[in-house]
Structure 1
């Protein structure tokens, strides 16, 4: 069966049509970024790719192609045997590699020879990446936004989760970035995605939204952890109406003790993370927080962090960057209970 070659724009518009997206690049390339939901069937693994590249430079292109052919054939056979023997005749995959060349071409040729209708992404991942960059400059302008504002610990992330569960269009940038948006926001043992993968996740979320309905997003800065939010999206967020979420101080402390329980359990990790605040707060204050934490007063340290550090910084940033906060679309108060937050979500969903 002939292979169907698709330009990137057409392929991305038709992603839902394919039964599988197959990335023929090496695992290291795949880990940096890939099409949403793509499976990794490497024509060459990382070590084999390095070996063939070295032979290409040090021996000859012909010798490298022979070596590569043996390795690629062996790997494709293993993929088909392991992953494709149960696939029906009407199974329809989209295959790609770095530039849409030999690695994806070899895999597509074998799959098509078996009898499946194989589509090949022209230009490979590079063409996909260019399409994503272009889309992130244009997509954000299609939507109206509602920005949930509130000082640290007021429950913004929990609210977004409830709103999404109720069917609202929610763009949870912290979830996409795998970071909770502050110095303490990186979850231990769970690294952030790469910048490219984060941008792919944002694009993938935006492309699924209905422009006729508002998108609800948290009042993030230009960066979530180490990752930059696309500039066109930042501009739209900062011009959008705000919804202020209020929670009393003691309830905020309790919520943070729950959400950051890994720091409560691991005082050493908490103290290590506090070191990042030395430039802003000075050694004496940070040393005091660390000593109190080691003495078991983590709750008091969290309260002090909110009152003396996070709240002033957040208010200054919001006043500077979110004009809609002066006259919020709504002020939603809750007391820390699940019932109150569910009621807040219902109220916001109808705004």
Structure 2
């Protein structure tokens, strides 16, 4: 240990990236026994539960691209290899694994030196962290051993991100079954999201699947490319995190959704548990002209970008819809006519078909009639739901 401290002090004095590499190699050679395969057996504290680690900070040392695809909620990204560096090492590994490891060690050492000088420059002696990479291999151990020898309380996640991912899948298979669900249904433009927003502001438990998926659930559901949606893995991580904030003794409010939101597929287990545990179904109804007015205010991006709107509508070409008529409406800036027509011909029939497959009408449905679709009108509806003595019987 004294040797490690001396080496660290020298690395600080020299202030070079090379010194950090020497320090890592020296510490590993002096403190870790060598296995018969000539690999270092680094003895560091393991953590097997990514959700109950008890550390101050969770550090993801994978590349920025890996982190962007999915990560443990609340973790920070301190990559020991950049996207390009990992590609370089991986490409070399196919031809010469020894040379690839040597290149990787050099790159990782340089990056760890920078990480120590920046992120850890003000961390107190009592600081603790959980570190993980893809599968609990060399990337996480490389940073872990350095921080451990400095004196920090360090653990690394056994199995890395793969352990976390397996846990997410496992938990999503049964945790949703612990809740009951109040379903908010209604045709496009009735203000279902507005109602959920009002209920959330009032302190109710709301599961907004469209917000998690970054999509409003239709071909015109976003103002940008579908690539801006989260990955399926990230969606599921956020979904599980949302469930972790809920109290199972209280109902969860959720919009009636299909199985697919844009490019995101709701996990079958989650979808099925919601269907099986419906407490109440509330159907919002509003006049067509009120829905048109609301949608035009909500989707101003499309009216300001008519060419992109027509391109988006092209995705519906296989559905035998009157696209030429809609294009004419758009070219003539007759957006009210366009919205009313696409609701009657496409969205409303789609909603009716979807309802039959998901939350079919039954005697428990409560109809919530609106004269207009505004925040004020939906706030009034939310208040009725909250003050009702028996949820499901709304005056």
* 1:208 counterpart = 2:245: yes
Equivalent of 1:221 in 258, 279, 296: 258
Equivalent of 2:326 in 284, 289, 304: 289
Q: Structure 1, unaligned stretches of length 5 or more?
A: none
* 1:35 counterpart = 2:76: no
CA–CA distance in 2 between the matches of 1:337 and 1:308?
Answer: 24
Q: Which has the higher contact order (CA 8 A, sep 6+)?
A: 1
SS at match of 2:363: coil
> Does structure 2 conserve the Cα–Cα contact (< 8 Å) formed by 1:3 and 1:117?
no
* 1:4 counterpart = 2:45: yes
User: How many residues end up aligned between the 2 structures?
Assistant: 343
Structure 1 residue 109 displacement after superposition: 1.5
Structure 1 residue 327 displacement after superposition: 2.3
Q: Which residue of 1 aligns with 2:363?
A: 327
Q: 1:209 to 1:55 in 2, by over 3 A?
A: same
CA–CA distance in 1 between the matches of 2:264 and 2:358?
Answer: 18
Matches within 5 A, 1:120-269: 120-189=156-225, 191-239=228-276, 240=278, 241-269=280-308
> Does structure 2 conserve the Cα–Cα contact (< 8 Å) formed by 1:93 and 1:117?
yes
> Does structure 2 conserve the Cα–Cα contact (< 8 Å) formed by 1:244 and 1:328?
no
CA–CA distance in 2 between the matches of 1:330 and 1:112?
Answer: 60
Equivalent of 2:380 in 343, 346, 349: 343
Matches within 5 A, 1:36-75: 36-58=73-95, 60-75=96-111
Structure 1 residue 301 displacement after superposition: 0.3
CA–CA distance in 1 between the matches of 2:92 and 2:272?
Answer: 49
CA–CA distance in 1 between the matches of 2:211 and 2:237?
Answer: 13
Q: Which residue of 1 aligns with 2:311?
A: 272
CA deviation profile, 1:307-340 (whole Å, cap 9, x unmatched): 12111120122133213x3224532223223222
Q: Which residue of 2 aligns with 1:101?
A: 137
Q: 1:92 to 1:187 in 2, by over 3 A?
A: farther
> Does structure 2 conserve the Cα–Cα contact (< 8 Å) formed by 1:22 and 1:96?
yes
Runs of 4 or more above 3 Å deviation? none
CA–CA distance in 1 between the matches of 2:131 and 2:302?
Answer: 43
CA deviation profile, 1:111-152 (whole Å, cap 9, x unmatched): 222222122111000111111111111111111111100100
CA–CA distance in 2 between the matches of 1:96 and 1:306?
Answer: 48
CA–CA distance in 1 between the matches of 2:159 and 2:351?
Answer: 44
SS at match of 1:216: strand
Equivalent of 2:61 in 15, 24, 29: 24
Matches within 5 A, 1:308-319: 308-319=345-356
Structure 1 residue 189 displacement after superposition: 5.0
CA deviation profile, 1:254-294 (whole Å, cap 9, x unmatched): 11112111101100111111111221134xx1011012101
CA–CA distance in 2 between the matches of 1:20 and 1:294?
Answer: 54
Structure 1 residue 215 displacement after superposition: 0.8
Q: 1:56 to 1:321 in 2, by over 3 A?
A: closer
Structure 1 residue 11 displacement after superposition: 2.6
CA deviation profile, 1:195-247 (whole Å, cap 9, x unmatched): 11111111111122111011111100011111110112211222313111122
Structure 1 residue 32 displacement after superposition: 1.5
Cα RMSD (Å): 1.8
CA–CA distance in 1 between the matches of 2:196 and 2:173?
Answer: 24
CA–CA distance in 2 between the matches of 1:141 and 1:74?
Answer: 48
TM-score, L = length of structure 2: 0.83
> Does structure 2 conserve the Cα–Cα contact (< 8 Å) formed by 1:34 and 1:197?
yes
> Does structure 2 conserve the Cα–Cα contact (< 8 Å) formed by 1:246 and 1:331?
yes
Q: Structure 2, unaligned stretches of length 5 or more?
A: 2-42
SS at match of 1:305: helix
* 1:83 counterpart = 2:119: yes
> Does structure 2 conserve the Cα–Cα contact (< 8 Å) formed by 1:219 and 1:237?
no
CA–CA distance in 2 between the matches of 1:61 and 1:229?
Answer: 40
